[in-house]
Amino acid sequence: MIYRTDYHIHSKFSDGKSEPVDYVAPAVAAGFKEIGFSEHLTLFRGSLDWSMNASQAKPYLAHIKALSMNVKDIKIRTGLEVDFFPGKEKEIHSFLRSINLDYAIGSVHYVGDLTVDNGRDFYKGKDIDKLFGLYFEHVTAAAASGLFDIIAHCDLIRIYGFKPSSDPEPFYRKLAKSFKNHDVAFEINTNGRNRPIGDFYPDRRFLRIFKEEDVPVCVNSDAHMPSRLGQYFDEAYELLKSVGYSEMAVFENRERYMIPF
Ligand SMILES: [Zn+2]
Ligand SMILES: [Zn+2]
């Protein structure tokens, strides 16, 4: 039986629709062994309606810790999805050092002042080739920063279906090497299926590249409501098996362990 985990979940503490406790019964019913909350946390941007800032982290973590103590049927992990900004590694590092997590997910949502997943308008009038190059550069830097245990949706820039004019495989090769060299996991993010792109992140054509580099992997839903917990996971596990994966990464106290599946 697969040791099911889902480490990428949002509740009302950031932009999710439900309270953390609302996820527990559905997760147990779906046979999960562990779930983890990974609320958005964005430094350097003041207060945002979709993401916590540094001052909101401690009450959130205390809430999840208390929930985990009260729940016996499943392990509840404490995580964060932290926005990565190139050049701000030191500041992010000192923030992460001040809190206790089971894992830190690093995300690139921002390219410049705006996020790449907040509407097609962002792409209007922009050079898509340059944008892809820049996005992958940021994600590669996030992996190389050593700040994170998992990198989220590593090709989120695909969200609206824009494509670079040449084969993007070199982007993925460079990315996978960076993940490997800096010992960071990637995720299959099944929520891409619910977004305009209509498929998982990363692009399934390039999953074999992550396997060639033996990059550790997690399957995550990026759920913003309990009904999406573990959505499409069986398909994701099959996809991973088809390129040769036989184990998945689990986390506790910022240590990674590998579990066969
Ligand atoms: Zn994200
Ligand atoms: Zn997320």
SS3 state of residue 166: coil
**Ligand 1 geometric centre to CA of 167 (Å):** 25
Q: How confident is the model over 3-16, as a mean pLDDT?
A: 98
Report, as an integer, the average pLDDT of 30-53.
97
Q: Residue 226 C-alpha to ligand 2 middle, in angstroms? A: 14
Task: Give the model's confidence band at 244: pLDDT under 50 very low, under 70 low, under 90 confident, else very high.
Answer: very high
Please compute the mean of the pLDDT values over residues 91-114 and round it to a whole number: 97
Question: Contact, 50 vs 10, CB < 8 A?
Answer: no
Residues with CB under 5 A from ligand 2 (ion): 81, 222
What percentage of the chain has pLDDT greater than the value 90?
99
120 contact partners, CB below 8 Å, separation of at least 6: 160
Per the rule left: phi > 0, alpha: psi between -120 and 50, beta: everything else, 218 is beta
CA of 122 to the centre of ligand 2 (A): 19
Range 116-119 contact pairs with CB under 8 angstroms and sequence separation of 24 or more: 116/156, 116/157, 116/159, 117/156, 117/159, 117/195
State the ligand closest to the CA atom of 115.
Answer: 1
Q: How far is the CA of 109 from the centre of ligand 2 (A)?
A: 10
What is the model's pTM? 0.98
Q: How confident is the model at residue 14 (pLDDT cuts 50, 70, 90)?
A: very high
Whether the CB-CB separation of 44 and 110 falls below 8 Å is answered with no
pLDDT at 148: 98
pLDDT at residue 146 is higher than 90:
yes
pLDDT at residue number 1? 87
Report how far ligand 2's centroid is from the alpha carbon of 99 (Å): 19
What are φ and ψ of residue 173, in 5° steps?
-60, -45
Residues 219/7, Cβ–Cβ less than 8 Å:
no
> What ligand is nearest to the CA atom of residue 110?
1
Instruction: Confirm if 175 and 140 have CB atoms less than 8 A apart.
Output: yes
Q: Rounded CA gap, 261 and 142, in Å?
A: 28
